[in-house]
Structure 1
Amino acid sequence: MSTPLVTDDLAAATADQVLTLAEAARRTDGVAPLSEHTLLRVRHGAPSGSARFHVVSEDGRVVGFAFVERGEDEPDSGEVVVDPAHRGRGHGTALLHSVHRDAGANGVRVWAHGRTPQAVAVAEEDGWRAVRELHKMRMPLRDIAAEEKGGPRTAPELPPPVLRPQVADRVEVRAFVVGQDEQAWLDTNARAFAHHPEQGRLTLDDLLQREVEDWFDPNGFFLATGKDGRVAAYHWTKVHADGAGLTDGEPVGEVYVVGVDPQWQGTGLGRALTLEGLRHLRDAGLPWVHLYVDGDNEAAVRLYTSLGFEIWDTDVMYAPPEEPPGEE
């Protein structure tokens, strides 16, 4: 078991090795071990004091990695990955101990994406307990043949995204305009996700980093704007070129994020914009669409189930034992 190096930033060569390690784990496990947000932090770095990187190396090669985003009024949030060729050597446990010892005043939580047996075993054997679930839901956008992953599926009929009469003349539904809508979207996103530990803290730099990603398409980023120019609601879609575990490489869609300003909640804008984005992804010829939703968000789960989504997989967030371990 190696002692992880803990640092506020990564050298470029180390970052490249982490990305290679994450891809190797994705291919082996069938699920990405690091979120998009973490991968962006690895590529671009993190604002000073906002994050910590934990790195385990053997013979100059990165074989284990953890990323922790510092919380303000909530626990830090982390992710851990170990090279498939170097598992069973205690690296996962060493990384969990490291992020536990290095945690901020509010402690730390760590995600196990896809609830893989290896990740669950390491967490539970070390006394970590599940405290949050994030469901991954999926829906076919066209009829899926039996030989494809998940077996045969019939695509549900998508209703038209009709606005209710009381809001139809108060908002305009249009695509996001790069260079114009960033701040208005950030303001609404912060209000819509004020109590969300990840989404509600996105900054302008976070948004700009996503705008230069290969997958970014403003034509799939739908806004409902009021006459005052403020964003009342939005639906940001995404296309995964690698299939996101749903296909063997054919692109699939994602309901990346749907947000409604609290002043517009209950108006049906969230459902209408969700349908707008789903029809956009369907018309692009994609076979599947998926999304993430908190397990305790029963209203959202009901909405997506009513549209034809089903729970496909679940990410689990773990909290550590009360006392951090001593130094190895």
Structure 2
Amino acid sequence: MSFVHITGQLETDEAEAVIALAEAAQEHDGVAPLAEQTLLRVRHGAETGTTRFHLIFEETGSRPASLAGFAFAERTPGEPDAAEVVVLPKRRRRGHGSTLLRSLAEDAGPDGVRVWAHGRLEGAVALARSFGWEQVRGLLKMRLRLRDGTEAPAARTTGAATAGTAPSTGPSGQVPPAQALPEPVLSDEVAERLVIRTFRVGTDEPAWLKANAAAFADHPEQGGVTLDDLRQRQAEEWFDPEGFFVAEETATGAIAGFHWTKTHADGAGLTDGEPVGEVYVVGVDPAWQGTGLGRALTLVGLRHLRDRGLPWVLLYVDEENQAAVRLYESLGFTLWDADVMYAAP
């Protein structure tokens, strides 16, 4: 027997159970089932009315009910809920995924719900298709070798519906060797007006939030980052201001662009525990787009990660953002995996 509990805030023991479930699923599937934003919401909560947590409990014999699956929905006014679903590996094939998907749909806001399938796992794809849901968004996961002599898992993009993008690998499907990273270069005109430096905690937050909102005005997730969201990330163990680069306008002090890097201590599926880097987020204010600032900031961050001795760097990019995809490909990034968002037609 099973039942679903829906709440806007998790109790401490519920949050701990969700994190343990997500860790078990990641170990089993090789793919993180919940995004970083979701895990932050689980651990820290969120503003009332912006999140919905769906927990499915299963009773087995005389034992008390235990958590068998979890779904999360983030609500943004004027947008469909953005959701994720995960079922404990040993409790799968019992209908829990279908139950959670129906619960999300029935509980959704006025604009409906869309659900992410991370890594396009067969079970997740089959579940979406069984409901007649269709792909509405794709997120490409790309990687770049920073150091030769490091191995990595094969690309998991077979069958991915990614706008005609195919996995990019070397001969016989091998990942290309490490490539030299060129020097970050700005035109004389741009270099006269900007200085690239590291982020100053306690000082740069307002200017960065303004630049981030402008750079991602059409991106409901990244563009909606708040001061609380920023501070939660600053409190994470991985946060390092020395890997957070901003381009400051010397005349005004405004931030024209930024490259925030991240280090995954667990290898993020690219290594067996050796830390790897991530192009966490690159943003350029619309007034500075087309000046080459984005490419220069990307290279600044990549060279920082390389100089730390990290063997690999990964990133996520919307498949529709072809300008960004081309930029990353020009720097040597290749397609590794894909996340897909599904919605009812």
- Aligned counterparts, 1:149-298, within 5 A: 149-150=153-154, 153-227=176-250, 228-298=252-322
1:64 corresponds to: 69
2:94 corresponds to: 89
Matched, 1:52 2:52: yes
Q: 1 CA distance for matches of 2:85 and 2:318?
A: 20
Distance verdict in 2 for CA 1:152–1:198, change over 3 Å: closer
Q: 2 CA distance for matches of 1:155 and 1:16?
A: 40
Contact persistence 1:51–1:70 (CA under 8 A): yes
Percent of aligned positions that are identical: 63
1:17 corresponds to: 17
State how many pairs are aligned.
320
Q: 2 CA distance for matches of 1:31 and 1:161?
A: 33
Q: 2 CA distance for matches of 1:214 and 1:153?
A: 31
Which runs of at least 4 in structure 1 moved beyond 2 Å after TM superposition? 147-153
Kindly provide the CA deviation profile for residues 18-47 of structure 1, in whole angstroms up to 9, marking residues without a partner as x. 000000000111010000000000000111
1:320 corresponds to: 344
Contact persistence 1:143–1:153 (CA under 8 A): no
Q: 1 CA distance for matches of 2:152 and 2:309?
A: 16
For residue 251 of structure 1, report the CA deviation from its aligned partner: 0.5
Kindly provide the CA deviation profile for residues 53-96 of structure 1, in whole angstroms up to 9, marking residues without a partner as x. 00001233211001100021211100110000100000000000
Q: What residue identity is the alignment partner of 2:237?
A: D
1:118 corresponds to: 123
For residue 197 of structure 1, report the CA deviation from its aligned partner: 1.7
Contact persistence 1:158–1:279 (CA under 8 A): yes
Contact persistence 1:76–1:103 (CA under 8 A): yes
Q: What residue identity is the alignment partner of 2:324?
A: A
Q: 1 CA distance for matches of 2:219 and 2:175?
A: 36
Q: 2 CA distance for matches of 1:268 and 1:318?
A: 34
For residue 152 of structure 1, report the CA deviation from its aligned partner: 5.6
For residue 148 of structure 1, report the CA deviation from its aligned partner: 4.4
1:7 corresponds to: 7
Contact persistence 1:53–1:66 (CA under 8 A): yes
1:326 corresponds to: none
**Structure 1 unpaired stretches of 5+:** 322-328
Q: 1 CA distance for matches of 2:196 and 2:139?
A: 29
Distance verdict in 2 for CA 1:162–1:74, change over 3 Å: same
User: What secondary structure, in the 3-state scheme, does the structure 1 residue paired with 2:317 have?
Assistant: strand
Contact persistence 1:100–1:320 (CA under 8 A): no
Q: What residue identity is the alignment partner of 1:105?
A: P
Distance verdict in 2 for CA 1:152–1:266, change over 3 Å: closer
Kindly provide the CA deviation profile for residues 204-256 of structure 1, in whole angstroms up to 9, marking residues without a partner as x. 00000000100000000000000211100000000000111111111000000
Q: 2 CA distance for matches of 1:60 and 1:214?
A: 33
Kindly provide the CA deviation profile for residues 102-158 of structure 1, in whole angstroms up to 9, marking residues without a partner as x. 11111110000000111111111122111110000001001134x543456410110
For residue 4 of structure 1, report the CA deviation from its aligned partner: 1.5
For residue 3 of structure 1, report the CA deviation from its aligned partner: 3.4
**Structure 2 unpaired stretches of 5+:** 59-63, 155-173
Distance verdict in 2 for CA 1:65–1:224, change over 3 Å: same
1:104 corresponds to: 109
Q: What residue identity is the alignment partner of 1:139?
A: L
The TM-score with structure 2 as length reference comes to 0.91
2:171 corresponds to: none
Matched, 1:305 2:296: no
Contact persistence 1:144–1:153 (CA under 8 A): no
Q: What residue identity is the alignment partner of 2:291?
A: T
Contact persistence 1:79–1:112 (CA under 8 A): yes
Contact persistence 1:56–1:62 (CA under 8 A): yes
